[in-house]
Structure 1
Amino acid sequence: MAITAEFVIRSPSLPLTDFAASLPSGRFECEHGLCLKRDCDVFVAHVDPDDGVSEADLAALEAVVETSALGRRDGRDVYRLTVELGAVAEAFAPERFTAVEVEPVVVTPEGWYEKKLFESYDELDGIRTRFEDHGISMEIVSVTQDADSTAESPQYGLTDRQYEALTLAISRGYYESPREITTEELAEEMGISQPSMSTLLRRGERQLLSSTLEPHNRLNALSS
């Protein structure tokens, strides 16, 4: 099963967002490259020439430890940047990522807009958990599922466990008024803790809302 997810990650510790804020366009694109060591990553940045950025400007950025100009491509200046990830380095440890980058990351003052291919919904949920564990919020903009796997997996971007939890909750009257069962009782049926059950329900509910309602924070809104 393969899914493609568009999402925005936000944290005061994310590098390069301050640089995006200084640009007249308020955004630039970059591609992840090699991870030289756990606290550094290599990006290939594509900058609009109208933003008036020089190699010296990039080298002066606090998070950038090395930069080199690679020329111009598709009308934009291209630079190779070695960037210190700082407080969020562990969230981007290379062994924790199996997702494939579908499009370049768009860096804006509000955060990073990404589009990635995941093998499963569980992997998508796993990356969100890892981000949250390191103080990075992740907002799902859209999730699309490979047509060949639609029939065998839960809909609306739910993980298998979220689907199971929501289905159980509905069947046991959790969403009736008044409720006919508690999260503690649901957790006991699923063989998990009450906090884990609450987390499954909360994330499942959020995913359903994100998938069925029109997203309000599209890419254009991020840089407005």
Structure 2
Amino acid sequence: MAITAQQHLSSPVLPLVSIAKYTRSDEIECIQGLNLQPNLQLFIVQIDAEEDVSEDDLSMLDEVVEATLLGESSGKAILKLTVELDETVAGAFDGSTDGALMDSILVTPEGWFEEKLFKDYTAMSEFQTTCEENNIDVEILSLTHDSTSFEDDSPYGLTERQHEALTLALSRGYYERPRQVTTEELADELGISQPSMSDLLRRGERQLLTATLDTRGYINALSK
């Protein structure tokens, strides 16, 4: 079940944020990123040509190792930037996390706004965990999913909606102690009411227990 997530990533040392702060519009677009070596990343970015930001200006920023102007297109200056990553976030850029970028990343002083495609909720949860382990906060702004392959992906007799509710709850820490999210917050992410979310979880949990524990067989065995 493919998941498309619109996310806000934030950290005071997230790469390119200092460059966004340097512009009058407080934003730039990152259209490509490539890991060169540990703590070193290459980014292709677009900056409004009217900003009049030069290669020398960018090279003066602490995180920028090298800046090269590639040209202009549609009123945008296209630049190649080699950036030294802060060691506290470098682990999130080693290429080990899954997720296909669906569009360019909007970088602002508040962080990165991006849309990524994950193969399932587990992959999305792993991405979030990697970010959090590297001091990057992840806020999910919206979620959509492709349920065309649901019948192959959802065992134990769960309905599609039960599967979606349970996997989201698991990925967001609902079953951890203490809980990391409330049913109200989960309901907001799915665009349903809190009672509906609670009902989906309750029915889904019951279906999983029934299917995995085979309670009817157990009861029959006790009655013999």
Q: CA deviation at 1:52?
A: 1.5
Matched, 1:160 2:140: no
Secondary structure class of the residue paired with 1:68: strand
Q: Describe how 1:41-52 pairs up with structure 2 within 5 A.
A: 41-52=41-52
Q: Describe how 1:63-212 pairs up with structure 2 within 5 A.
A: 63-86=63-86, 87-95=88-96, 97-149=97-149, 152=154, 153-154=160-161, 158=165, 160=167, 162=169, 196-199=176-179, 202=181, 206-212=185-191
Q: CA deviation at 1:198?
A: 3.4
**2-side partners of 1:81 and 1:147: how far apart?**
39
TM-score by length of 1: 0.72
**2-side partners of 1:133 and 1:68: how far apart?**
32
1:126-148: CA deviation from partner (whole Å, max 9, x where unpaired): 11112112221111111111141
Cα distance, 1:46–1:121 mapped onto 2, change above 3 Å: same
Contact 2:121 2:171 in 1 (8 A): no
Q: CA deviation at 1:32?
A: 3.1
Q: CA deviation at 1:210?
A: 3.3
Cα distance, 1:22–1:67 mapped onto 2, change above 3 Å: closer
Q: CA RMSD in A?
A: 2.8
Cα distance, 1:48–1:154 mapped onto 2, change above 3 Å: same
Secondary structure class of the residue paired with 1:128: helix
1:177-220: CA deviation from partner (whole Å, max 9, x where unpaired): xxxxxxxxxx7xxxxxxxx3434x6276534323428xxxxxxx
Q: Which AA in structure 1 matches 2:134?
A: H
Contact 1:2 1:146 in 2 (8 A): yes
**2-side partners of 1:21 and 1:164: how far apart?**
33
**1-side partners of 2:81 and 2:164: how far apart?**
34
How many aligned positions are there? 184
1:153-199: CA deviation from partner (whole Å, max 9, x where unpaired): 55796562726999xx9xxxxxxxxxxxxxxxxx7xxxxxxxx3434
Match of 2:217 in 1: none
Contact 2:172 2:181 in 1 (8 A): no
Contact 1:158 1:204 in 2 (8 A): no
* Structure 1 residue ranges without an equivalent (≥5): 170-186, 188-195, 214-224
Cα distance, 1:157–1:139 mapped onto 2, change above 3 Å: farther
Contact 2:121 2:168 in 1 (8 A): no
Q: Which AA in structure 2 matches 1:61?
A: L
Q: CA deviation at 1:75?
A: 2.1
Cα distance, 1:164–1:12 mapped onto 2, change above 3 Å: closer
Secondary structure class of the residue paired with 1:3: strand
Contact 1:43 1:83 in 2 (8 A): yes
**2-side partners of 1:67 and 1:204: how far apart?**
47
* Structure 2 residue ranges without an equivalent (≥5): 155-159, 193-224
**1-side partners of 2:17 and 2:171: how far apart?**
38
